Amino acid sequence: MINATIEPSALCGPPPSAEDVVFREVQAVADFNFGEKVASVFDDMLGRSVPFYQEIQRMIAEMAADFAIDGTNLYDLGCSTGNTLLNLDASVAKGVKFIGIDYSEAMLRHCRQKLAERGLQHDHELICADLNHGVCIQNASMVLMVLTLQFVRPLYRDTLIEAILRGLNENGCLILVEKVLGEDSVFNRLFIKYYYDLKKRHGYTEMEIAKKREALENVLVPYKLLENREMLLRAGFRYVDVFFKWYNFCGIIAVK
């Protein structure tokens, strides 16, 4: 039997936005995009779609307290509505500048408003740019890509990772959180089933799940965990380790 109640982990997720009903009434499924329709319900979508989102955020803040250095920049690539930047405000040294980058004007609008409402303390800048075209990273002690590299076209991923590495200071780190494929198709099938079960527990219907899956096809292109690890080592990161894993989701930290 399906347990349709929302789990406590979802309730203590990001601050509530309007309920995500993006795929409830859609008839013809188009490619997923990060326009206003998604941006306005995005925080609800995160809390109900990303396993342990709040714990991942807590871990990132814990690591940022050690890696983000006064007088340097911290980049959040694919900053969306600003949850990660807000989450880091209390734990990161005050002399670190926050730079959020996203290609969705709608996301940045919501982000700007939320940072202002919540009174983000750190000096910060929000930039609208497409990561498929590369990125200019300077004097960075930390770069975050939380569920964003999976949306960058595979053709451009190596170049982007190399640009991030170039812009990081020695001992700086990249935090990568991604949806991943299982290393073997047997696990992949199971992991996807368990993931859809989580979405059902968080109140999504079978139809909503199926429509979103179709919309994300060719838009969200996951690698295997080991493929992500290889890409980071190939670019020249010295140390790479996994700090989070839940079925088809993982968190990786890589140090220059």
Ligand X SMILES: C[S@@+](CC[C@H](N)C(=O)[O-])C[C@H]1O[C@@H](n2cnc3c(N)ncnc32)[C@H](O)[C@@H]1O
In this chain, which of 130, 183, 184, 206 binds ligand X, going by CB under 6 A? 130
Q: Which stretch binds ligand X (CB under 6 A): 21-29, 91-99, 125-133, 242-250?
A: 125-133
**How many residues form the binding site for ligand X (CB under 6 A)?**
18
In this chain, which of 132, 159, 169, 205 binds ligand X, going by CB under 6 A? 132
Please give the C-alpha separations between residue 86 and each of 123, 153, 210, 239, 241, in angstroms, as whole numbers: 12, 28, 32, 27, 25
Do 89 and 204 contact (CB within 8 A), yes or no? no
d(CA 110, CA 126): 11
Do 6 and 204 contact (CB within 8 A), yes or no? no
Q: Which stretch binds ligand X (CB under 6 A): 116-124, 126-134, 179-187, 190-198?
A: 126-134
Interface with ligand X in residues 148-177 (CB under 6 A)? 148, 151-152
Interface with ligand X in residues 68-97 (CB under 6 A)? 78, 80, 83-84
Q: Is residue 102 a contact point for ligand X (CB under 6 A)?
A: yes
Q: Is residue 45 a contact point for ligand X (CB under 6 A)?
A: no
* Strands 249-255 and 168-179, bridge-based pairing: antiparallel
Q: Which stretch binds ligand X (CB under 6 A): 92-100, 112-120, 147-155, 206-214?
A: 147-155
d(CA 148, CA 159): 15
Q: Which stretch binds ligand X (CB under 6 A): 114-122, 141-149, 190-198, 246-254?
A: 141-149
| CA nearest neighbour of 118 among 84, 93, 145 | 84
d(CA 99, CA 34): 19
Percentages helix, strand, coil for the chain (3-state, rounded to 5) are: 45, 20, 35
- Give me the least distance between CB of 148 and ligand X, in Å please: 4
In this chain, which of 74, 107, 165, 252 binds ligand X, going by CB under 6 A? 107
Instruction: Output the six-digit token pair for 210.
Output: 């199926």
- Give me the least distance between CB of 170 and ligand X, in Å please: 25
d(CA 156, CA 177): 18
- Give me the least distance between CB of 9 and ligand X, in Å please: 15
Give the footprint of ligand X on this chain (CB under 6 A): 34, 46, 78, 80, 83-84, 102-104, 107, 130-132, 146-148, 151-152
